[in-house]
Amino acid sequence: MDVSDQMVFGTVVLARFLVTLTIPRFPLPGIVVALVLDAVDQTVFQQFMKLPLEGYQGYDKALDIYYLAIAYISTLRNWSNYLAFQVSRFLFYYRLVGVALFEVWHLRALLMIFPNTFEYFFIFYETYRLRWDPNQMTRKLLLSAAAFIWIVKLPQEYWIHIAQLDATDWIKTNIFDVPTEVPWSDIFLDAFGIFLGGGALVVLILVAAWWLVTRRLPPTGRKLTFSPDAHQPSFTAEQTRRARASEAARIIDSALIEKVVLVSLLSITFAQVLPDVRATNLQLAIAVAFAITINTALSHWLARRGSAWAFALREFAVMGVVNLSLVLVYAFWAPNFDGAIDLRNTLFFALMLTLMVTLFDHYRQVYLMRFALAAERV
Q: Indicate whether 195 and 75 sit together in one domain.
A: yes
Q: Out of 227, 244, 279, pick the residue that ends a domain.
A: 227
User: How confident is the model over 233-256, as a mean pLDDT?
Assistant: 71
Q: Are residues 217 and 247 in the same domain?
A: no
> Can you tell me whether residue 349 is helix, strand or coil?
helix
- pTM for the full model? 0.81
Same domain, 337 and 210: no
pLDDT for 93: 95
Closest CA relative to residue 34, chosen from 77, 56, 64: 64
Q: Do 90 and 237 lie in a common domain?
A: no
The whole-number pLDDT of residue 378 equals 36
For residues 218 and 318, membership in a common domain is answered with no
pLDDT digits (tens, 9 = 90+) for 70-96: 999 999 999 999 999 999 999 999 999
**Are 214 and 249 in the same domain?**
no
Rounded to an integer, what distance in angstroms lies between the CA atom of residue 195 and that of residue 184?
A: 11
Q: What is the mean pLDDT of residues 258-287?
A: 79
Per-chain mean pLDDT for the chain: 79
The answer to whether 262 touches 96, Cβ cutoff 8 Å, is yes
Per-residue pLDDT tens over the stretch 19-39: 999 999 999 999 999 988 887
Burial class (CB in 10 A: 0-12, 13-18, 19+), 189: exposed
Handedness of CA 288, 294, 297, 301 (dihedral sign): negative
My answer on whether 276 and 217 are in the same domain is no
HEC sequence for 204-260: HHHHHHHHHHHHHCCCCCCCCCCCHHHHCCCCCHHHHHHHHHHHHCCCCCHHHHHHH
Q: Is the pLDDT of residue 375 over 50?
A: no
- Please determine, for residue 311, whether its predicted confidence score (pLDDT) is greater than 60: no
pLDDT score for 312: 66
Residues 19 and 130 in one domain: yes
210 and 334 assigned to the same domain:
no
Last residue of a domain, one of 167, 195, 227: 227
The Cβ of residue 50 has, within 10 Å, a number of other Cβ atoms equal to 11
Tell whether 254 and 213 lie within a shared domain.
no
> Quick one: 31 exposed, middle or buried, by C-beta within 10 A (0-12, 13-18, 19+)?
buried
Please count the structural domains in the chain: 2
pLDDT tens digits, one per residue of 107-128: 888 888 899 999 999 999 998 8
- CB 321 within 8 Å of CB 354: no
| Burial of 159: CB neighbours in 10 Å, binned 0-12, 13-18, 19+ | middle
Contact assessment for residue 51 and residue 1, using Cβ atoms and an 8 Å cutoff: yes
Residue 203 has pLDDT above 80, yes or no: yes
pLDDT, position 149: 93
Q: How confident is the model at residue 164 (pLDDT cuts 50, 70, 90)?
A: low
Domain with 362, as residue range(s), is: 233-378
Helix then strand count (H, E) for the chain reads 15, 0
| CA count, 13 A, side-chain hemisphere, 294 | 18
Same domain, 18 and 92: yes
Contact 365, 82 (CB under 8 A): no
Last residue within a domain, chosen from 180, 199, 227 = 227
Same domain, 273 and 211: no
- Taking residues 277-285, report their average pLDDT: 76
